[in-house]
Structure 1
């Protein structure tokens, strides 16, 4: 969808790119087709590891932060409004004055709200091109959007978060349930799969017996927040796709509040892939501590993966489970597939 709009916008002349200079592409998603841009001019910037790895495998120059000035930018709009604003501010700060900033997104991503906000502030965006339930438009760099820049926020409990990371506005209820259910003593090596900004890992590190807690998190900004939130030498930080990560030694326990959305709709396949990944990271006597929405079909998968399964309660929305003794560990190098 994005590639169709981008190709049409460039071929029709609705938007124009300068003939020379680097092009900054902010936050494209794995599967996006950027072939209408000159690859040797493009730098993809994303902190989400699966997207980072996807574009790196295609031969793009990929980084987690913009460096220097660019002739133009393409902002791939996310759903979160504050994160979208922060990306627009980032583009405005790094594109040479007068250079085009292309903005692309689905209607469900808030592209019309972004267009309206830029118009209201007098940024004079060009006429949008509409296709495939989304829009592409351009605005000339030069306006100061620093008020929209991402800033750390302090939430209850003294935790630092940032716009766009999971549960940025407060402690996630499901994670709080799991933290409260953890036993007072845990084994030595614990992995936190999809660790976010570190709430569950802090709970793990408060238990006796823990020598190492490994935070595996795909979102670089969330992991950076976790570094602020966990001033503990036992914490180990891994910027990695949880579905592809393999520890140097198997964990004795894993805690997990797995994601289950790849878009606005629930996608149980993503959560199931997390369960399979967790089972593959554990010792043969290891334990998975899990919280998940009650409506998700995880129990048959857990029964397939583990010899022991125990319901540890929860509430009307979320189920707590303790699964132990994985059936088998996968062969080295094998990983669960990330849902499309």
Structure 2
């Protein structure tokens, strides 16, 4: 665990924090134990809304960007290589020249190849190993500028960023759902887990849609969606989809729900999206869903909706049309 490595590094002197100044921590998860660090000096950077809110509720100062002028940085290495590189470049720019940067990650998330990549560019410490992961340090300075996050334009004129889901192309499930959607959609639509906007743009091409609410937990993905959908009918919400509320019930929900936030699959995450869809829809509303075939959603769908039918897909994905929600009309105050 990260806390075990940080504690060991501090106790053995492998990491010596500066006596003064702020310490920026990139992408800590909600369950992280940061008690070995001086809480009053920490600035946490987390763009994933559930983790952001949970950390803020614990009393931490949390933002979506690191800023500049920090005395030190700690990078919690993500699995996506491009995102990890971008975080390291941001950390190097956010800390005063010569300041301490600590890199911590699991072996399964690529900490060892990242150490090798950095060693080819900078002076990097030896690694400290514990709890199936490694920790190492380097000094802030130039040399990682080309690793900084830059928007990429993919087919269809969409803009994406490193680390967001399906950054290189629309995923196959979303493509299948777009192909299955009727051409005559109308009313108020919600896209739960909207990502960078692929589904939402396709929905808006089907007039007479009056409004679409894009709900996305990852701030960077939602920023891309804002760029990709310059349509006044689109409304953007940085929010946990499972807790999202509307002022008026929706006529339609489209959804390609996630089923993991770590390496392990967790169908309960997707079920949370289906429960949210049923809550948000009007009594006559319809959910259009794409999901991996191996995920056990059938019982939940039939509990939440009176009518459920499989209408297509392929060997890996299924397209489901579910209507007449049994828990409908979730609204906000």
- Mark yes or no: TM-score above 0.5: yes
Matched, 1:87 2:87: yes
Q: What is the match of residue 189 of structure 2? A: 190
Paired residues in the alignment total 332
Q: Report the counterpart of residue 337 of structure 1 in structure 2.
A: none
Q: Where does structure 2 lack aligned partners over 5 or more consecutive residues?
A: none
Counterpart secondary structure, 1:75: strand
- Residue number in structure 1 paired with 2:306: 307
Query: Counterparts in 2 of 1:169-208, with a 5 A limit?
Result: 169-208=168-207
1:104-183 alignment runs, 5 A limit: 104-121=104-121, 123-183=122-182
Distance 2:330 2:85 in 1: 44
Structure 1 runs of 4+ with >6 Å offset: 330-333
Preserved CA contact (<8 Å) 2:77 2:103: yes
Greater shift in the superposed pair: 283-292 or 180-189: 180-189
- Is this contact kept in 1: 2:259–2:268, CA < 8 A? yes
* Local SS of the residue matching 2:17: coil
Once the two structures are overlaid, the 10-residue window that deviates more, 136-145 or 311-320, is: 136-145
In the alignment, what sits opposite 2:239?
Answer: 240
- 1:36/1:327 Cα in 2 relative to 1: closer, same or farther (>3 Å)? same
Query: What RMSD, in angstroms, separates the aligned Cα atoms of the two structures?
Result: 1.3
Question: TM-score w.r.t. structure 1 length?
Answer: 0.95
Tell me, yes or no, if the aligned pair for 2:248 and 2:331 is still in contact at 8 Å.
Answer: no
How far off is 1:330 after superposition?
Answer: 8.2
| Cα distance in 1 between the residues matched to 2:247 and 2:35 | 37
Distance in 2 separating the partners of 1:56 and 1:195:
24
Partner of 1:4: 4
User: Is it true that 1:63 corresponds to 2:66 in the alignment?
Assistant: no
Listed one character per residue, the Cα deviations across residues 206-243 of structure 1 (whole Å, up to 9, x for unaligned) are 11221100000001110011011101000000000111
Aligned-partner SS, 2:159: strand
Alignment match, 1:316:
315
> Residue by residue, what CA displacement relative to the aligned partner does 1:68-107 show, whole Å, maximum 9, x if unpaired?
2100000000000000000000000010111110001100
Query: How many angstroms does 1:329 deviate by?
Result: 3.6
